[in-house]
Chains A and B, each alone.
Chain A
Amino acid sequence: MATETKDRAAALKARAQEIEYLGTQFGLNGLPPPPELEAEYTQIKQALALLEAEVS
């Protein structure tokens, strides 16, 4: 279970990093990031918080 949780957390963190990167790319091109990225990022952060609570 602990391994699964760690893997899940790692995957979520990786995707969060991708979203952070995509936001920067939109900025570099003078564009605001699309709202769906914000929604996905919020969901990831919430999921990560739940996983951390689960582990602790």
Chain B
Amino acid sequence: MRATDKSTVLPVLIPGHEPPSSVRALPKPESKAAVQPKPELQSLLAQQAAVRTGGQAYGAATGPAGDGAQLESAALNNAHNALLGAARLLDGKAPSSGRVQARLKAVTQALNALPEGTDIGRLRGAASQILTKAAASPAATALQQALTKADTARVLTELKTASPSGAAQIDTLIAGSADAGKVKAMLSAMYPGPTALGTTAAAQKQALMKDLGDFGVELSGLMQSHGLPEHLAEGLLTMMAEVRAGFEAGTTTPELGERDQDMQRTGWVHTRVEVLKAARAFDAAVPKPKGQGEQSAHALNLLSTLMGGLCSDAFKDATPHSLLWHNRPGAELVLPLLAGRAFDLDEPGMKDTLRTAMKLAHEHQITPPMFMSGAMKGQLMASGAAPEVVDEIEAKLNDPLGVPQEHGEIIFSEAAQAAMAKVGVPGWATMDPDSAHFVPSQVVAMADVMQYVAPDGIIKIAVDIRDPEQPAAFMRDANIKAAVGSSVGFSFAKGMEVIIDPKLKAQAQADAESMSHDLEAVIYPEVQARLQAELGPEAAQIPYWNQDVPTDGSMNDAQRASVKLVKDTLRDVLAEHGNVPLDPFGAKE
């Protein structure tokens, strides 16, 4: 397995203590000859030398004028020294103090003047440890954004090296999206690698396994039972740990808005169990080979399935464009980048495994067809697309398995293709029943759909989304069991419309029945018991539980309080029953 941390993390800075000389100077960039000094770099170094706080200069590394590499190295050292100063000050001062802010601003200045492509991974890692303390202050936010931006070229270069699609396709994909700048910033903010996030691959994996609990044990057991070699199973967990860390970074990164950030939290809650659901579905639908000769291919088939499921929703924000496009960056950006770190892609079979995983992540997008086609229609109409073109696209997205396709992409008319490109969506992936990876593709899509009959998805729908006082009348329910019913009933049925593999359909139905049984036999009785314990045995009628509440805006305070109590109780019981972390990154601690 290729090492994820290619450089050592800078030592944790101890406020109030002078760091050892080994951490004062960062190594010079590798490509010295190619580095040209920015015109402003020389003056920046002079500025840095002049910045003094409390009479103490921290621009000590500023040296005499030299070539580009020397200047770049000096600027990096200055930035690092400023970080050390900020770390020392943060021990005793508020993050908003002028001296701390001045040092953070000095680091930002140094970064902004560095040549594009400078490797700042280690500096970024050291900074992330400090920024945790100084979070939300203006200079800290500016520094975090500067770090993300300055590191983008390195991350893109790493991605292009690992990707089987080629650099040109990646550039085209990003350039054709609705907001190329945001895409690059998200990639650099969420998936820069453990070092740049101020941690290590081992620490990320430890956090993952603690988070997964029993799920991790079951997932590892399924990988083992299907003959996946240990180093490849570990590689999958390394990727999963990076996805988790990416979602966590996304919850606070200033590149994303508040709704985008919260989506990363719910995205992880969804993904952490989707991988296990994919493993369970694969176990049910794909028989283990009888001969040793087929074992390797079978194991890699499982690996590509899990990789595809893992990354299918790993690059998503709360915008309509992202809803329609997120399968492509999941497949083309996140998957190769993380696979390149976690696996030796030169190992026999691994390049094909990655390519297959990318196809699976692409193809998961087709469900639920009715919703996706409607969402696409909305975007097209807003862009002024001709009605007949909108009709063509809507009809094809609504019947993804029945329309003409080529290499897993639906065939559209030229006008339709142009209309979709105008809204930043280059096409629509679908499944090919004749392809060798059809069943794994069905597995990945089904694992996504299974959220409707699983505790994590039911919490999202019945507790977080539906509410008797929702602004939209059609998102209100008179009681919480109706809200749950909409998830396990209609939503599940619509999602399953594209799952045609008989074994998978049977497995999904069995799981749905099991969830319905658990609701009636275990979860609802437990909710009833807890509500009764809270409200007393005399409380026979509990609004939103066993008594309807009005959904026309006339709810009173007592009913409102009961709705909250019922929701909180169901959420807690479901979370305990289904191993669902309500605060997966400890944000509320």
A and B bind: yes
> A34 — which chain B residues lie within 8 A by C-beta?
378
Q: Which of A1-9, A12-20, A47-55 contacts B (4 or more CB under 8 A)?
A: A12-20
Known contacts A18-B370, A29-B323, A30-B263; A24 and B473 CB within 8 A of each other: no
Q: Please tell me if the beta carbons of A37 and B472 are within 8 angstroms of each other in the complex.
A: yes
Asked whether, in the complex, the Cβ of B491 is within 8 Å of the Cβ of A21, the reply is yes
Chain B interface size range:
20 to 34
The answer to whether B472 and A17 have CB atoms under 8 Å apart is no
Closest residue on chain B to residue A27 by CB atoms: B465
Q: Which of A19, A24, A29 contacts B466 (CB 8 A)?
A: A24
Are A24 and B320 neighbours in the complex by a CB distance under 8 Å? no
Q: Which of A16, A32, A45 has most chain B Cβ within 10 Å? A: A32
Set of chain B residues within 8 Å of A29, measured between Cβ atoms: 318, 323
Q: How far, in whole Å, are A20 and B137 apart by their CA atoms in the complex?
A: 42
Interface string of B238-265 (1 = CB under 8 A from A): 0000000000000000000001101100
* Interchain CB contact (< 8 A) of A24 among B260, B317, B491: B491
* A residues in contact with B487, CB < 8 Å: 24
Main secondary structure of the interface of A (DSSP, over half): helix
List the A side residues contacting B494 at CB < 8 Å.
21
Tell me if A21 and B490 are in contact (CB < 8 A): yes
Interface residue from A21, A26, A32, A42 paired with B486 (Cβ < 8 Å): A21
Among A16, A23, A28, A42, the one with the most B-chain Cβ atoms within 10 Å of its Cβ is A28
With A and B bound together, what is the CA distance between A51 and B368 in angstroms?
Answer: 31
**A23 touching B472 in the complex, CB below 8 Å, given contacts A30-B263, A34-B378:** yes
Q: How far is the CA of A13 from the CA of B370 in the complex (A)?
A: 17
**8 Å CB contact of B374 from A16, A22, A45:** A22
Query: Are B320 and A31 in contact, with the CB atoms below 8 A?
Result: yes
Cβ of A42: which chain B residues have Cβ within 8 Å of it? 473
Which A residues are CB-close (under 8 A) to B461? Answer: 24, 27-28
How far apart sit A24 and B460, CA to CA, in the bound complex (Å)? 10
In the complex, what residues of B have CB within 8 A of residue A27's CB?
461, 464-466, 475
Residue of B nearest to A44 (CB): B474
Chain A residue with Cβ nearest B266: A30
Q: Does B371 belong to the interface (CB within 8 Å)?
A: yes
Q: Which residues of B contact A26 (CB under 8 A)?
A: 375
- Looking at the complex, which one of B262, B371, B472 makes contact with A30 (CB distance below 8 Å)? B262
Interface of B is mostly: helix
Q: By CB atoms of chain A within 10 A, which of B471, B473, B491 has the most?
A: B473
Give the CA-CA distance A29 to B317 in the complex, in Å. Answer: 8
Given contacts A28-B465, A31-B323, contact A37 B474 (CB under 8 A): yes
Q: Kindly state the separation between the CA atoms of A42 and B476 in the bound complex, as whole angstroms.
A: 13
Q: Are B486 and A20 in contact (CB under 8 A)?
A: yes
A27 to chain B, nearest CB (A): 4
Measured between beta carbons, the chain A residues less than 8 angstroms from B465 are 24, 27-28
* CB 8 Å contact bits of B299-337 with A (1 = contact, 0 = none): 000000000000000000111100100000000000000
- B371 and A25 contact, CB distance less than 8 A: yes
Q: What is the bound-complex CA distance between A20 and B465, given in angstroms?
A: 12
In the complex, the answer to whether B263 meets A24 with C-beta atoms within 8 Å is no
Q: For B460, what are the chain A residues with a Cβ–Cβ distance below 8 Å?
A: 28
Within 8 A of A (CB), among B71-130: none
A22, B319: Cα distance in complex, Å: 16
Q: Complex Cα distance A9/B404, Å?
A: 36
- B323 close to A20 (CB less than 8 A): no
State the Cβ distance, A13 to closest chain B Cβ, in Å: 12
**Which chain A residue shows the least CB distance to B494?**
A21
Given contacts A28-B465, A31-B318, contact A19 B474 (CB under 8 A): yes
CB distance from A46 to the nearest CB of B (A): 12
- Residues from chain A with a CB closer than 8 A to the CB of B262 are 30
CA distance A19 to B475 in the complex (A): 9
Question: Given known contacts A30-B262, A31-B323, is B318 in contact with A24 (CB within 8 Å)?
Answer: no
Given pairs A24-B466, A24-B475, A41-B474, 13 additional interface contacts (CB within 8 A) = A22-B370, A24-B461, A25-B368, A25-B371, A26-B375, A27-B464, A27-B475, A28-B460, A30-B262, A31-B320, A34-B378, A37-B474, A38-B472
Q: Return the 5 tightest CB-CB contacts between A and B, nearest first.
A: A30-B318, A27-B465, A25-B371, A23-B475, A41-B474
Binding site for B on A (CB under 8 A): 16-34, 37-38, 41-42, 45
A sample of 21 cross-chain residue pairs with beta-carbon separation below 8 angstroms, ordered by A number, consists of A21-B486, A22-B370, A23-B470, A24-B461, A24-B475, A26-B375, A27-B461, A27-B475, A28-B460, A29-B318, A29-B323, A30-B260, A31-B319, A31-B323, A32-B471, A34-B378, A37-B472, A38-B472, A38-B473, A38-B474, A41-B472
